[in-house]
């Protein structure tokens, strides 16, 4: 039960790219948070985070 497929939207390109594994993290706090996000996204059958411009939110 519950959600199996997640599509999230964020206005921070940095966060979206780091969670998707496309950009490296340089800040230790961001590295720790990104690790948690990646562990959580592995619990779903599919997970996608997309960047949206701030002006379109």
In this prediction, residue 55 carries a pLDDT of 81
Q: Please name every residue paired with 48 in a beta bridge, in sequence order, or none if there are none.
A: 7
Q: Please name every residue paired with 5 in a beta bridge, in sequence order, or none if there are none.
A: 46
Q: What is the pLDDT along the chain (57 residues), one digit of tens a residue?
A: 799 999 999 999 999 999 999 999 999 999 999 999 999 999 999 999 999 998 855
pTM of the full structure: 0.81
In this prediction, residue 46 carries a pLDDT of 96
Strands (E), 1-57: 5-10, 46-51
Contacts of 34 by beta carbon, 8 Å cutoff, 6+ apart: 18, 19, 25
């Amino acid at each position: 039960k519950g959600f199996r497929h997640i599509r999230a939207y964020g206005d921070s390109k940095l966060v979206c790219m780091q969670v998707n594994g496309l950009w490296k993290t340089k800040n230790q706090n961001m590295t720790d948070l990104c690790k948690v996000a990646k562990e959580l996204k592995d619990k779903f059958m599919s997970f996608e985070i997309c960047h949206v411009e701030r002006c379109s939110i």
